[in-house]
Structure 1
Amino acid sequence: DYGLWGVLPVGTYKTKKTLLAEVVADTIWTFDQKFGILNVQVPIRTVVVKLKNGGLFLYNPVAATPEFMGMLENLIKKHGPLKHIVVGSVALEHKVYAGVLAQKFPRAEIWLAPGQYSFPVNLPNPFLGFPSSRTKIVPQRTEDAPDEWNENFDFLTLGPFKSKDGAFSESVFRHKESKTLIVTDTVLEVTDEVPEILALDPSPLLYHARDTITQIIVDTPENRKIGWRRVALFGLYFTPSAIDIKDGDVAFKERRPDINSDFIGIYPWDWVRDERPSFDALKGGLLVAPILQTLILNRTPIQVLDFADTVSKWEIERIIPAHFINDLKYNGEDYRKAFSFLEDKGVPAGLPKPLEADLQFLRESEVGLIESG
């Protein structure tokens, strides 16, 4: 249980299971939880790295449940104190848990990606739980970073890019010894494999596996895969092209809590087209989420490509993103290719490329954002 779940009341609400994985033996560990709304729950991930001279570096805290804290304390007992807590993004789902963890480790230094903000009121960082005496901004230059950062990591920040509707910023780190690139949202991989943390409680997958509100779904591996495809599409597009959304009053009148009691039995859309073409179009390599492609990174293509060029020159053997599948076996060149959507020649054949039909809602949103400044 997570007693502070009300600070950000999203799935999985009070109960938050944590899945620990050792990605690099005795060096890098990940902690997965689930995060989302309307049963669109995807993995959200913390990465912990053992530093050369002892102690731990933590990137993007998840909810500090007793289970998570117990797992983390076991690493601390073996490898030394938690020295650095890094929030690699300005996104709420990563920032909101960091303030809590900062209070639990009063000797750890807190590092925030540049461009932090809060909504609806832009509060100072101390009001968000970050102690002013030990909270700093991730430096832009290596000479301004702690010595043990430079001993263990390369790092670089994309952004911040600010607008009236918010901001985007991401600080990525490459662990030199293991050649592991640690990122938040800049890339992910879409695969048929259902993430392990989602399989622990498949009810959100089965909720979305229904074509219509009256369909009764049995828990089978195939239905879990259908649910995963649809959850992924919702998470990446908000409104996939394969659904028809019902009017609110219609959805309420048609509710069937006797079939599925989640959200008082409401199922506000029908899957009227096959979701597999949309999902398959996103497979085949590293992907920059369509939301970022369409609403944020396309506004500053030169800066984004310069960033990707720099990261691509690092020696990389694996990438750990904050969402979807863990431990991706790709290199710097693969990372750079994910940003080819910003180039005039476009995305090379065989790499992930969103279907135009799925981008319609995001394109319309982009127009509204541009008009609002």
Structure 2
Amino acid sequence: MQEAFWEKTSKAAHPERWYPYWWALPLAPYGGKATAMSVAHPNEVWCFDQLQGLLDVLVNVRMTVVRLNGGGLWVHNPIAPTAELMSMLAPIVDEHGPVKHIVVGSAAIEHKIYSGPFSKKFPSADVWIPPKNWTFPVDVPIDAYVPYYPRGSPKTLPEDSASGVGSVPWGDQIEHSVIEVGGSSLRNFKDPWFVDTAFYLKKTKTLLITDVVMKVNPDPVPVATINPEPLLVRGMEGPDKMLPNTREARSMGWGKTILFGLLFQPASVDVKVSPASVNKDLLDNFTWDERWKASFQNLVDKDIFVPPILHVLAFPRRRDEVKRWAEGVAAWDFNTIIPSHLDGPIDAGPKEFAAAIDAALTTDPRAFFGEDIEPLLAVDKLSRDLKSLEEPRPLTDATPIKYFVKPAPAPAEEASAVEVA
């Protein structure tokens, strides 16, 4: 199955999916990047997904394209500009105008890395990145690492669109707010190691986010099923227990992919690696017990949630700051959330968003994620012992996050009284 997958992702098999600069961020499936497109809001918002990961643990990364009033497009978190992606985007550009702004909402390298190559396809577009945008764990300025931006170095997003400090050309249509969390000894605790930005699309009442919240469904995202072999390999219950290409097998593979991707070392899997067959072992020498099903279902059952790494390592360091930011975001009137990973768009609003952040600020990770969280808790303890991350800080105000509630409709006029009169 692995051989079949790599054959399908070769340049010879699908030249339209080939991305020649994959070596700048050498994540699987390397140069062969299939794209799946979906419509979030007809004639207004479109999503484009590609895969990235290690070995056969591949999850989606999402670009969102928004139509601007007056013509032109606004792009959130660009992905690899393959010929296939450009052909999907071409009809939207033809109908609504060129890309005017390419906006990176995160400091994470997997979202910044494509901003330069993507901007080469739209040389008149401005590129925007968030402030304090150093790359963890080594600070490499993005315009030095990706040394081609047609309009010079990227512009910097203001911290938010409400304070009046700085402005963006789309501010009347899209509001935003930047979150910065968790100092690290690598930067002398000066800069945050996690930076994300929430964008509120007023017309469609949509919230765009990169990593802060996500949703998991039992079935894999569509882009993961274009070439499903990695799902079938990951779905195997033990070495060489091959699976047929069925919906059930793909769901099994997706569930185990999610557990690895979010929790790193699930308690339900035993991995045995021998020096003589390390390559094979790293692909399929995994033996799972039945606990993985309950662990996966625990994630599926949640409306939306903060990823475990943020729940454990980031948000506890700056609880008050996270809460203030979340209350600002939850004050927006949205009914759809589009994150940059896993499922989306998600039918969720301020209430669900506030509940997810509240859980990350106040809930014991063990109670929320179960035994699979232990490896991350061990990393948290080590970081505190080594003083490599800031110490966690308690909330000064433990009341739930306030969120937007639609006002009650105005009382109807006394129609019956009018009729009598």
What is the TM-score when the length of structure 2 is the normalising length?
Answer: 0.80
Q: State whether structure 2 residue 71 is matched by structure 1 residue 54.
A: yes
**1:228 paired to 2:242:** no
For each residue in 1:230-275, what CA deviation from the matched residue of structure 2 results, as whole angstroms up to 9, or x when unmatched? 00111111111111232x4x2x4466xxxxxx85874343213421
Q: What residue number does 1:136 align with?
A: 155
Are residues 68 and 164 of structure 1, via their aligned partners in 2, closer, same or farther at CA, if it must alter by over 3 Å?
farther
- Is the alpha carbon distance of 1:265 and 1:35 closer, same or farther for their aligned partners in structure 2, counting shifts above 3 Å? closer
Q: What's the counterpart of residue 35 of structure 1?
A: 52
Q: Mark the CA change 1:333 to 1:119 in structure 2 (over 3 Å): closer, same or farther.
A: closer
Q: Does 1:178 align with 2:195?
A: no
Q: Which residue of 1 aligns with 2:231?
A: 205
1:82 aligns with 2:108: no
Match of 2:177 among 139, 150, 156: 156
The answer on 1:196 being equivalent to 2:217 is: no
Contact residue 189 and residue 324 of structure 1 kept, 8 A = yes
Q: 1:160 to 1:119 in 2, by over 3 A?
A: closer
Q: Give 3-state SS (helix, strand or coil) of 1:89's partner.
A: coil
SS in 1 for 2:242: coil
1:359 to 2:373 alignment? yes
Structure 2 spans left out of the alignment, 5+ residues: 1-17, 187-191, 389-421
Cα 1:294–1:160, aligned 2, differ >3 Å: closer, same or farther?
Answer: closer
Q: Does structure 1 conserve the Cα–Cα contact (< 8 Å) formed by 2:311 and 2:361? A: no
1:109–1:134 CA contact under 8 A, matched in 2: no
Q: Is residue 94 from structure 1 mapped to residue 111 from structure 2 by the alignment?
A: yes
* Separation in structure 2 between the aligned mates of residue 46 and residue 238 of structure 1, nearest angstrom: 25
Superposition pairs of residues 118-137 of structure 1, within 5 angstroms: 118=135, 121-129=138-146, 131=149, 133=152, 135-137=154-156
Residue 102 of structure 1: how far off its partner (Å): 2.3
> CA, structure 1 residues 175+224, in 2 after alignment: closer, same or farther (shift >3 Å)?
same
Cα shift readout 1:152-203 (whole Å, capped 9, x = no counterpart): 1121011154313571000110100100001100011011122111111111
User: Closer, same or farther in 2 for the Cα pair 1:35/1:313, shift >3 Å?
Assistant: same
Partners of 1:114 and 1:159 within 8 A in 2: no
When Rg is computed on C-alpha atoms for both structures, the one with the higher figure is 2
- Provide the rounded CA distance (Å) in 2 between the counterparts of 1:82 and 1:145: 22
Question: Is the counterpart of residue 17 in structure 1 residue 42 in structure 2?
Answer: no
- 1:3 has 2:24 as partner: no
SS in 2 for 1:189: coil
The answer to whether 1:274 aligns with 2:291 is yes
**Unmatched tracts of structure 1, length 5 or more:** 256-261
Q: 1:39 to 1:270 in 2, by over 3 A?
A: same
Question: Do the aligned partners of 2:51 and 2:224 also contact (CA within 8 Å) in 1?
Answer: yes
Match of 2:419 in 1: none
Using the alignment, how far apart are the partners of 2:294 and 2:288 within structure 1? 13
- Matches of 1:120 and 1:291, distance apart in 2: 15
Q: Which residue of structure 2 aligns with residue 63 of structure 1?
A: 80
- Structure 1: which amino acid aligns with 2:336? R
2:321 matched residue in structure 1: 303
CA distance in 2, matches of 1:33, 1:141: 29
Say how many residue pairs are matched.
359
Task: Pick closer, same or farther for the CA change 1:343–1:6 going to 2, 3 Å.
Answer: closer
Partner of 1:285: 303
Q: Report the Cα distance in structure 1 between the residues aligned to 2:372 and 2:219, rounded to whole angstroms.
A: 22
Relative to structure 1, the CA distance from residue 297 to residue 21 in structure 2 (aligned partners, 3 Å threshold; closer, same or farther) is same
The alpha-carbon deviation at position 69 of structure 1 amounts to 1.7
Give the Cα–Cα distance (whole angstroms) in 2 for the partners of residues 341 and 193 of structure 1.
25
Q: Mean alpha-carbon deviation: is it higher for 155-164 or for 20-29?
A: 155-164
Q: Within 2, Cα distance between the matches of 1:328 and 1:321? A: 8
Confirm or deny: 8 A CA contact 2:143 2:153 kept in the other structure.
no
Q: Which runs of 4+ in 1 moved over 6 A?
A: none
Aligned residues of 1:99 and 1:128 also touching (Cα < 8 A): no
- The answer to whether the 8 A contact 2:38-2:46 is kept is yes
Q: Partner amino acid for 2:157? A: V
Please provide the CA RMSD for this pair.
2.2
Which amino acid is 2:211 matched to?
D
SS for the counterpart of 2:198 is strand
What is the percent sequence identity of the aligned residues? 30
The aligned residue for residue 318 of structure 1 is 336
Q: Structure 1 pair 65/343, CA: closer, same or farther in 2 (3 Å)?
A: closer
Between 1:119-128 and 1:54-63, the stretch displaced more is: 119-128
Q: Offset at 1:108? A: 1.1
